[in-house]
Each structure stands twice: as structure tokens, then as C-alpha cells.
Structure 1
């Protein structure tokens, strides 16, 4: 027995009991999770272990596990020249009482602390070496080849998803056809990178995506800090100046300006302003 939550009910692991799940992870991986280090998120729980590693536990319903599986962290271990924690092993099981799956991945410790939350309200102090490492890792990642398909927010990214996401929020006559697909982390935000030493973690959603998805995602999570957003655009300008990068900018903006937009989100105005500019550029060809 693990969690008593109906299949149709949203689960937030920040408030749901997870003690039995963590006990099972400890037994399966033969490790002890340090209670004072537990970090709880909406659909995952992580903790440091007594052998100086990190374990991340995730809960997903079967319909959110695509044909390629959900072994993103394991598959990312083969990516060369990409700064990330070393993957060491995992345990996966189907819940006995609920139509859900659990997965726990054990990796090396992060080389530094995460920069912050997914969306920043204050500019972090990032040395030039950090930006160089970010660029090197993203460029190396894009140069790899994979059959995986990215699943940002656990949704498989397809041409249809890109078109629907953009058309549901923005009007105007412009083509939404993606031209270049390449490997992307697919969840690049300030909660998934470390500083002052750069490292990129939480690889469960990586796979092929339109060029510029990662750059647009990091930019969107920076919009409350204009100087930081500008720095992201400057560092990743090759992505943002591409046609697909412009589409990914609209894709990122659609998540900010869409039906679930928060009226007090400081990113609303800059996202709307940039979206209007990008639409003009796409219409101009």
C-alpha cells in the first residue's frame, strides 16, 4: 500500500504522505535517505543518501508514460559533454492499489545548489564561466541523436501540440510548421540548473523538440527579471533568431498568457510585448 488517492484526483506530493514510498525505495536501493534533506515537489520527491548520492522519486499515471518509457535520466547518462549528475541506478514499480507507476533514480550529488525556483524574481550572480558552460552543454546536447521525443510538462511535443498551443492564444496569419527538431532537456528552468558550478538535472522529459525549446523555456522563467531575460536571449541568440526559435518563444509565451494565466504574474506584460514582436517577424517572413 502507498497512497490512497483516486485515479482521477490530482496528486501533489508536497502534501500527500510518502513515507511508505520512501521506505520501499530505501529497501530496493539498499540505501538510507537522510530525512533532513528531503525536498518535496508536486510530482516528485528527492533526498540525499547516506552514501553521498541523490535519489529522485517520481509518480506518474500510465497514460503519461509514452511508448519510449520514462527512463529519461537513465538514457541521458550517455550524453557526452553535457554537464549533469552521474546516473547510478534505479527502481521502478507499479502501485498495488492505484493505477500509477513509481520510479526512483539514484545519481551523484549536484556540484552546487540549484539557482532558485522555476521562475526567478531576483537576478542571480552568474559568472561568465557559468554562461559558457550552459552554452557548451546545450550545444553538445543538440548535436546528439536520439529517438526519444521530448515531453515538456509530461505532454509529448508534436507539431500538432505546437500549433494548437500557439493558435489557442495568438491570432495572425503565420506558419507554425517546425523545420528543425533536435534533442532538448525540455524542462530547462532555474530550479533545474546549479550555480556557481553549472550542472543540468531532472532529465526525465528530454528528447527531440523544435530548435530553441530550451532557450525559450529558460527565457520565459527569467521574464520577471528583465536583465536576466535579456542575457538569456543574448547568450542563445542563434536559437532566438531562427524561425523555430521564434515559434518556441510563442510556445513559451502561450503558457504564460494562456487560460491559466495568473493576473499578478509579472511576466504577463513582457511576454505579451515580445509575442507581438515575434508574430510581426514571422508574418514578415
Structure 2
């Protein structure tokens, strides 16, 4: 009989990480500029003394799975994508817990992250920025991978799409996805830079229904209607196709489902769009 080893839940925003940073510093043979540390729930980022960036991730061994957790490394092989170059990595197993640590070193970002994942006011973005976004997303969709996207850490499958939509919406329409293409799968305003466009944090990328990225960015913009409209206008071909409509419902299901925050300002515009999208799908 195989006994599973439980792994405690850890939030790296509050967890002591000094020993982890010291280990990375010794292994990469560079100084880490501790006043630049950015702490998130699953990751810690820090600038090095050689003007590069290190992203450190902690993950339970049993959650690494078949796909692995080398998203940034695999994404470095993609062509035509504006992203910081991947330079190398180090991986080690924790000596006290059944978890693995991974540190990926990349070039510095060409600009600051635009904001948090969900915006409450519109950023200033030039037409050139939108052109670069479109070029990268279009290039990404033409490439091939065996990876499966993991939005919100859940592997996206046909069953997940159907379950997510049917849990929230009713209606006589088919939820079967017809086209799967590579997607970033975590496209939001915290993972892109300006004024120079660059897309980073590639740990969740992989094949997904066409339109997932566009729908995700739209959902992150819904508190600023002009911005949400701009996303839909720029990615019109994604939203107009049937798979894009399904992805619109998929992201709306997260905003309108039982686990959503009842005071999220995005709920009402999401509800209106969901009603419109269902009507369009029922027309065929």
C-alpha cells in the first residue's frame, strides 16, 4: 500500500524565504538584490547582481504531474513571442518536506508590469503596444506543443469546459470545443509590461480552446468598460468564433459561479455578456 504524504499549505508572501534565497544565491553564484524581492502566493522573484531576474517556485512533488513545471523553459523555444529570454535554471528537493523548488533565471523585463491581475482603471497603452500583443498571441496560436494549459492550476479539458459552463448557465447549445491551440493561459495585466510589450510568467501555458487568452484578458478588464471593449475589438476574430464564445462563458462562469465574490464589479457586465453569448450560440 502506498501512503500519500500530505504537504502543508504555504503562502510565500508570508513564509520565511531567507534560506531559499541564500541557496539560490550560492548556486547561481551571483548576489541577489533583496530590496527588489517580489513575493506572490506561489513564487518569489528577485533581481540579481548581473542584471537578470530569478523566479523561484515551490511546488508539492505530487502536483508536478506528467507535464512537469518547466513552463518558462519550454516557452523559450516559442517563435515570434515578446518575452524575456530564458537563461537557465536550478531545481532541488526540499530536505524537510515533500516539495520541490525551481529557480528560473531570465533577462530583465523591458518595462514594469502594467498592474494587478484585475484593473480598476485604464492603463495608457499605445497602438504599438496593442500591435505587439496581437502579434505575440497570433504567433503563439500557430505553434505546437504537447503541454496542456493549466488556468488557475487546473488542467483544461473538454470535461472541465463543459462542467464549468453547465454549472452556471443553462441553454440549448453544444459546449464541444472544435479547435485547441497553444495559449499562455494566465493572460492578465500583472503578466504583461508597458510601455514596451512583453509577456511573462509562462508556468501555465499549453494547448487550450481557441480564445482562452482573449477571454481571460477581457475578464481582467471588465471593471473598466472602455478597456474591456478595446480587448474585444483587438481580438475580434477570437471572440467572434464559436470556440471564443465558449471561452467567454468559461471565464464568465468563474465570475458568476457560487464561489465568486458577490461584490465583484465585473459581475454585472459579465452577466450581460453571458446572456448575449448564449443567445448567439443558440442561434447556431
TM-score, normalization by structure 1:
0.96
Q: Which runs of 4+ in 1 moved over 4 A?
A: none
Partner-residue secondary structure (3-state), 2:79: coil
Q: CA deviation at 1:9?
A: 3.8
Aligned to 1:230: 229
1:104 aligns with 2:89: no
Measured in 2, the distance between the counterparts of 1:38 and 1:276 equals: 43
Aligned to 1:3: none
Larger CA deviation: 199-208 vs 258-267: 258-267
List alignment gaps of at least 5 residues for structure 1.
1-5
Local SS of the residue matching 1:38: strand
Q: For this pair of structures, how many residues does the alignment match?
A: 280
Equivalent runs, 1:156-195 vs 2, <5 Å:
156-195=155-194
Alignment partner, residue 279 of structure 1: 278
SS in structure 1 opposite 2:214? helix
Gaps of 5+ in 2: none
1:64 deviates by 2.5
Please report how far the alpha carbon of residue 143 of structure 1 lies from its aligned counterpart in structure 2 after TM superposition.
Answer: 0.7
Structure 1 residue 104: Cα displacement: 0.8
Q: Secondary structure at the match of 1:138?
A: helix
- Structure-2 change in CA distance of 1:44 and 1:133 (3 Å): same
Say yes or no: does 1:243 pair with 2:242: yes
Kindly indicate whether residue 216 of structure 2 is the aligned counterpart of residue 217 of structure 1. yes
Per the TM alignment, residue 8 of structure 1 is displaced from its structure 2 partner at its CA by 5.0
Contact in 2 for aligned 1:64/1:154 (Cα 8 Å): no
Q: Per the alignment, in what secondary structure is the counterpart of residue 182 of structure 1? A: strand
Q: Deviations over 1:148-198 (max 9, x none)?
A: 111111111111111111111112221110100000001100000000100
Give the TM-score normalised by the residue count of structure 2: 0.96
1:131 maps to which residue?
130
**Coordinate RMSD, CA, aligned:** 1.2
1:154 equivalenced with 2:148 (yes/no): no
User: 1:114-172 CA distances to partner (integer Å, 9 max, x unpaired)?
Assistant: 00000000000000000000000000010111111111111111111111111111122
1:5-30: per-residue Cα shift (whole Å, max 9, x none)?
A: x9454321111111111111112212
CA distance in 1, matches of 2:59, 2:97: 11
